[in-house]
Chain A
Amino acid sequence: MSQDMSDDKLPQAHGAGEGHGEVAAADNPFADPGLPPHEPRRTDIDERAAKRAERQVSLLFIVSMLATVGFIASYVAIDPAKIVYIFPLGHISALNFALGMTLGVALFCIGAGAVHWARTLMSDVELPAERHPIEADDEVRADVIQQFKTGAGESGFGRRKMIRNTLIGSMALVPLSGVVLLRDLGPLPGTSLDTTAWKEATPTTPIRLINVNTNLPMKAEDIAVGSLTFAKPGPSALRPDGLQESDEDFQQVIAKSALMLIRIQPSDIKDAKSAALGFEGVLAYSKICTHVGCPISLYEQQTHHALCPCHQSTFDLSDGARVIFGPAGHPLPQLKITTDASGYLIATQDFDLPVGPSFWERNA
């Protein structure tokens, strides 16, 4: 479409092509007067000033040498554990401070010396250099295209279409090998994102809720109204000791199975289904935010709101953990809990929804 618009709208480059140093014609006050004459610096004309600059440059290099010696001395002499108070930085590592400052001074003074030298003693006469167009001239262009055509003609690439097409086909397919090789980076997801460690819990083989801090099972009366407690899965058939930090897969299991327990006056619970999943006002929600998976840890007692510190998704725990603010797209999954014969809190089934952030295969 550019062909049907003319180029005459392009401006005339001002001063392009005019040689430097030309004095402008009297009828154009905007013409390029050319490079101004060089104005000497003090150091160019005053030998004493030049000598002083020379001493300043050398002094900077000498300071650098001393700082490097100081760096080595600090490395040898200062105990890595030593903490000192330096105003206004506060208590900091003496070794880190000494090494960093000496290294900083050693490097900075080399730089400052070199720049000062360049600015005061090296020539500051500005010189012009000509530019040459990046584009080749027409003759070179025609020559290269001719050479290419000769080469292409000799290869027969354009003539032997079958070779050309099969080559393109093979080149297009061969990178697939690289993609296929990536397959064993990990197992297929399957349905593993739909379930958590609580999936082993059944009415006949329930799993106890274990307090993360005390490592002990909990009773409903241990949880005060308005408090927030964190829990993990207790002993099960697969894991007779319950989930322990020393377990090889601890991180993966806790990443989905972490629980957040709160207790609300039963009359304050707005969602009947949520109340039924709880036990006497004790509600067990997934601790993992449904936005991108941060653990939720900020709880406001008065309003029963839980807030994720990463992106501020806010859930109303008294109303089925509905999202009331922020970027999360759906409520926190809830775990059905009850008590066993000894009065300990137990789970008898997995969460009612997949835990954590949404994913394409999520069907809920």
Chain B
Amino acid sequence: MSSSASAKTAAPASTRAKPANKAEAAADYLDGRLGIYSLAKSNLRKIFPDHWSFMLGEICLYTFIIIILTGVYLTLFFKPSMGEVVYNGSYAPLNGIRMSEAYASTLNISFEVRGGLLIRQIHHWAAIVFVAAMFVHMMRVFFTGAFRKPREINWIFGFLLLFLGFFDGFLGYSLPDDLLSGTGIRFMEGAILAVPLVGTYISFFLFGGEFPGTDIVPRFFTIHVLLIPGVMLGLLVAHLILVFYHKHTQWAGPGRTEKNVVGMPLMPVYMAKAGGFFFLVFGIIAAMSAIASVNPVWAYGPYRPDQVSTDAQPDWYMGFAEGLIRVMPGWEIRAWGHTLNLGVFIPLMLFPLVLVLIAVYPFIESWITGDKREHHILDRPRNAPVRTALGAAWISLYLVLLSGGGNDLIATHFHLSLNDITYFVRAGSFIVPVITYFVTKRWCLGLQRRDKEKVLHGRETGVIKRLPHGEFIEVHAQLPQDKLHTLTSHEQYEPVELPAEVDENGVARKVGLLTKTRAKLSEGYFGEHGQITKPTAEEHHEITSGHGHH
């Protein structure tokens, strides 16, 4: 009787130590429900290596957060409607003008909502910095080979984020329904109409009939604030989970190997540095928005399809597409009652194609090297001359096309002929990347030679010594071992060789075209002209032992 009563009331004693304070008690409470101790065990003191270029990705993350925060604020005041109103507000020059509610509410945000203009400007500036940071972050990852196994999939996620960032930026730019944004959408209509077979149908379904219709702003609004950011948020989380899971890459150096990661722990140093960096980025963007106005829509007026301003340009990241469309010759094929507008369709296809080439690069390179190992040590750009040269060539193409997209501005600011700029861009799109490729590759090889020289002969001390027989020599000082290790720790691939023409039984072997292509590419990457052979310990020993002269 008594024993059963006591069994009902007495809970089994917890084996866990008593919490020392309220914070520990709270943590214990959460652990019992969420399992936070197991989660934090390996992450609280997770090691992050330090390098200034690793913060580029952080800028992307923080600007994305700023865009979401300010975007939510803007949706509270913006009316995504193309219903017509006659403006009667505090911006006098547009009083009495007919415009859409979208444009009127943008004016309202800019002039009547206190702080509204600031938030609009922060939203737009953050978007510009976001795309720019994604570009530069991607370049960092490309030029250092950080995309190699196991990070290829994360490279794809990053690429998709960039691609979606482009489009969400374009859609956001279109929402205020001002003269400039309407012109941008009209450009999009023209581009869609150039698609063979289905272009007119896509256009009519997108605009809800003929351009411009009344559906475009509400439709773009939903895509801009819900669909694309939702997808991007998912990709971003996946991107970050993978960064955490793979652990960060690091530069070569003493004590740094493929099997460890050297740096400082998340708590407290990285929490303070990364958390603080968010506020730095936000603070700088807020100050920029106070000082420099971007997209002053009130100066353009509401959209009317029969009006346009000069100097009509998209945000810079679309300048590459704008350049393609401006410099393309107006080729049209008319046959069998149909028109194929190659002058617009080719640029429309080239735009994603150039981007997709970047997306698949990791797979191309790993196919050429045949390397299935994990890589966590970064390449110095000079030690991968072909890759670096390809990246530089791509950037030069981007810049050439960007100057094509701004040909009118270049013409007026530098007093050049607009036509000449266009001709230059047409030719330059083919020539400049090739020149850039060769210059960059030679440059990298030169830097590799200099590294080799430094390793074998030491650094110049600036001390001139006269020898007893009258000869002057400059004294070189041996590099310390950590420097020697850093400069010689990169990997060098040997070019893949084609298999022997006959196999072990003396039967002629069939070598496929792919295999041959791969051998050719591999020769280009890692052959005689693709890299400088690393100095060896023997060479170093021979030179420094005093037996040989140099």
Interface of A toward B, CB cutoff 8 Å = 1-2, 4-5, 7, 9-18, 20-21, 24, 27-36, 75, 80-81, 89, 92-93, 95-101, 103-115, 117-119, 122-131, 133-134, 182-183, 185-189, 192-193, 212, 230, 232, 245-246, 251-252, 254-256, 258, 287-288, 291-295, 297-298, 309-313, 323, 325-330, 356-364
Contacts and interface: CB of A to CB of B under 8 A. Distances in A.
Contacts of B71: none
B343 A328 contact: yes
Interface string B529-541: 0000000010011
24 contacts: A5-B515, A9-B370, A10-B369, A10-B373, A13-B377, A100-B118, A103-B283, A104-B284, A114-B279, A127-B265, A128-B255, A186-B204, A252-B211, A254-B306, A291-B330, A310-B187, A310-B308, A312-B407, A326-B422, A327-B330, A329-B332, A359-B200, A359-B339, A360-B199
Interface residues of B, number: 146
Contacts of B424: none
- Which of B254, B278, B338 has the most chain A CB within a 10 Å cutoff? B254
Interface in B34-69: 46-47, 50
A119 B367 CA distance: 42
A97 to B, nearest CB: 5
A252 B212 contact: yes
A288 B193 CA distance: 14
B280 A254 contact: no
Contacts of B436: none
Given A75-B114, A108-B279, A130-B259, A357 B193 contact: yes
A104 B289 CA distance: 9
Contacts of B193: 193, 356-360
A363 B211 contact: no
Interface string B163-207: 000000000000000000001001101110111111111011111
Nearest to B311: A309
B338 A363 contact: yes
B111 A80 contact: yes
Contacts of A287: 306
B264 A124 contact: yes
A183 B208 CA distance: 10
Interface of B: 46-47, 50, 84, 90, 98, 111-112, 114-115, 117-118, 121-122, 150, 183, 186-187, 189-191, 193-201, 203-213, 215, 245-247, 252, 254-265, 268-269, 272-273, 275-291, 293, 303-312, 322, 325-332, 334, 337-344, 367, 369-371, 373-374, 376-377, 407-408, 418-419, 422, 455, 481-482, 484-485, 488-497, 499, 509, 512, 514-515, 518, 537, 540-541, 544
A92 B262 CA distance: 49
Contacts of B407: 312
Task: Please provide the 8 A-B residue pairs with the shortest distance between their CB atoms, ordered closest to farther.
Answer: A100-B290, A292-B190, A108-B283, A114-B276, A111-B279, A104-B287, A35-B255, A111-B280
Contact of B344 (A123, A255, A357): A357
A35 B255 CA distance: 4
Nearest to B189: A293
Contacts of A361: 200, 337-339
A11 B485 contact: no
Contacts of A125: 264
A26 B338 CA distance: 78
Contact of B278 (A10, A111, A212): A111
A117 B339 contact: no
Nearest to A92: B293
A255 B209 CA distance: 13
A327 B264 contact: no
Nearest to A117: B272
Given A4-B499, A189-B203, A291-B343, A131 B208 contact: no
A114 B308 contact: no
A34 B118 contact: no
A166 B497 CA distance: 48
A30 B535 CA distance: 10
Contacts of A363: 337-339
Nearest to B405: A311
A246 B326 CA distance: 35
Contacts of A297: 307-308, 310
Nearest to A96: B117
Contacts of A31: 481, 485
B287 A100 contact: yes
A294 B262 CA distance: 56
A10 B372 CA distance: 10
Given A10-B370, A251-B304, A359-B339, A294 B183 contact: yes
B504 to A, nearest CB: 12
A87 to B, nearest CB: 12
A33 B485 contact: yes
